[in-house]
Structure 1
Amino acid sequence: MVRFIWSTAAYLVANAVGLLIAALLLPGFSIDFLSFVLAVVIFSAVQTVAGPLITKISMKSFPQLMGGIALVTIFLGLFVTDMLMAGMQIGGIANWLAATLLVWIGSLVASVLLPIYVFKRLADAKD
Structure 2
Amino acid sequence: MKIRLLRVLVYLASAAAGLVLADLLVDGFRISWLDWWGFLVAIVVFAIVQSIATPVATGLAEKHAPLLLGGIGIIATFVSLLVVAFLPSAGIRITTAGAWLLAPLVVWIVSAIVTWVLTVVLIDRRSKAAAPAKS
TM-score normalised according to structure 2 size: 0.84
Aligned twin of 1:78: 81
Q: Which amino acid aligns with 1:30?
A: R
Q: CA deviation at 1:114?
A: 1.2
Larger Rg: 2
Q: Which amino acid aligns with 1:72?
A: I
Output the CA distance in 2 between the equivalents of 1:25 and 1:85: 23
The CA deviation string for residues 49-93 of structure 1, in whole angstroms up to 9 with x for no partner, is 111111111100111110100000000000011111352111211
Output the CA distance in 1 between the equivalents of 2:44 and 2:15: 9
Output the CA distance in 2 between the equivalents of 1:85 and 1:48: 21
The CA deviation string for residues 23-62 of structure 1, in whole angstroms up to 9 with x for no partner, is 1111211112311111000000100111111111110011
Identity of aligned residues (%): 34
Structure 2: where are the runs of 5+ without partners? 131-135
Segments of 4+ in structure 1 off by > 4 A? none
Answer yes or no: is 1:101 the counterpart of 2:105.
Answer: yes
Q: Are the equivalent residues in 1 in contact too, given 2:28–2:98 (CA < 8 A)?
A: no
Output the CA distance in 2 between the equivalents of 1:9 and 1:19: 15
Aligned twin of 2:15: 15
Aligned twin of 1:41: 44
User: Pairwise CA RMSD of aligned residues?
Assistant: 2.0
Q: Which amino acid aligns with 1:26?
A: V
Aligned twin of 1:66: 69
Q: Are the equivalent residues in 2 in contact too, given 1:42–1:81 (CA < 8 A)?
A: yes
TM-score normalised according to structure 1 size: 0.89
Q: Are the equivalent residues in 2 in contact too, given 1:39–1:85 (CA < 8 A)?
A: no
Aligned twin of 1:113: 117
Output the CA distance in 1 between the equivalents of 2:29 and 2:101: 11
Output the CA distance in 2 between the equivalents of 1:63 and 1:93: 27
Q: CA deviation at 1:123?
A: 5.0
